Amino acid sequence: MTVAAILSGKGHETITAKSDALLSEIAETLAKNKIGAVVVCAGDNSIQGIVSERDIVRVVGTQGASALSLPVSSVMTKDVVTCAEENSVNEVMARMTQGRFRHMPVVKDGKLTGVISIGDVVKFKIAQVELEAEQMRSYISMT
């Protein structure tokens, strides 16, 4: 199974921000949309970085509330690990676990086309296991 299968179920909608957005605006966007990360993009939808709840908590914890006035560009992760729709779910799960991050932008031709979270991956894997179990039960009951 591939990332494309996850996106076909959840959709390609993404929440993005520009690099000059303030951390307070990013925090508001995260809360309003009930998401854990925002991808920072240029006008052509190329990825410049990603900022998560953890990034905001880390900087507020070290610099205090005044950090919310910083531009996201000063806090975001600039070396973003991405995947393509063709990547396998297992490969993406392994990369997220190894890198200790929970959100991965999906790109095509260098442009953002979606975002998947570790929660999306786990939900997909659980559904896959449940389907396999049901198929096994059906097979066993036929014999």
What is the DSSP track for 12-71?
Answer: S---EE-TT-BHHHHHHHHHHHT-SEEEEE-TTSBEEEEEEHHHHHHHHHHH-GGGGGSB
CB-based contacts of 99, cutoff 8 Å, min separation 6: 81
> pTM, whole model, 2 decimals?
0.86
Q: Please state the φ and ψ torsions of residue 73, each to the nearest 5 degrees.
A: -60, -25
What is the mean pLDDT for each group of 10 consecutive residues in the chain (143 residues)? 92 94 97 96 92 96 96 96 96 94 94 94 84 81 75
